[in-house]
Amino acid sequence: MPRRVQLEGRPIVITGGGTGIGAATALACGKAGMPVVLAGRRIEPLHNICAQLDRGIAVQIDVTVGDHAHELLDAAEQAFGPPWAVFANAGHGLDRTAHGTTVAELREIFDVNFFATHLLLSEAAKRMIEHGRGGHLLASASCVSKFAPPYHGAYAATKAAQDLFCQAMRLELAPVGIHVSTVHPVTTITKFFDVSAELSGRDSGHSSIDHTPRFLQQSPERVAAAIIKCLQRPVPEVWTSRLVRMSAALRMLRPTLMDRSMKKMLEDDRLSGG
């Protein structure tokens, strides 16, 4: 078992930090004694979380605009010194059939979910190598990085890309003492699904979470606790459901079994959707 990392005084940068998993992780990191740099598009939620931290700053930023990675990491260094950890958590979903997803929609969701992650983690890795102190990079890859539910093909594709990108980084950066982990939560009770429904042209009462069994739902605090454990004792992948992890493994061995269970998610009024 790897030696336990003492988190006290080690700065962390978190994108998508104003709500949901990002906010819960920020509060958990703060309790562990980590200075926290929160980033997001809306400044008010970031300030609300920072007000609950002993050491935290808010950076209003859109991860798809300009050179956000340099701007964010520069702000972190000026406030607390070189970040020891970076959690690429910003992203959104899209409820759409694969054949009904437009090229514009696909490019937009990849810009937010994948390319922004690539830019931030790559720039953070370069700086960590330069400082020579090691570090820890994390990406919120979701359980659907391993399988694609119906109506979530575009979102799952971005998460699969994140997962594979981080797999390569993990091997490449291990010799210089930089850990790389992917986080694979199941359905988490946040505003994520309301935003996804809105972007997909539906009201929040028809979000995907309404059709997810209770035993496959969890709180953002549960995910945050798992992330803290990973920061203390790094592991390649952070899972918050053994059942879903086993299902993902089974999907590789017996695709038809997973397909059967996924078909139950289909709704008659969405079969011709898009």
Confidence of residue 248 (pLDDT cuts 50, 70, 90): confident
As to burial, measured by CB atoms within 10 angstroms (0-12 exposed, 13-18 middle, 19+ buried), residue 178 is: buried
Task: Give the domain ranges of the chain.
Answer: 12-270
Residue 63's closest CA among 52, 71, 74, 55?
A: 71
Kindly tell me if the per-residue pLDDT of 109 is higher than 60: yes
- What architecture is domain 12-270? 3-Layer(aba) Sandwich (3.40)
The pLDDT assigned to 75 comes to 97
pTM reported for the whole predicted model: 0.84
For residue range 45-82, what is the model confidence (pLDDT) as tens digits?
999 999 999 999 999 999 998 889 999 999 999 999 99
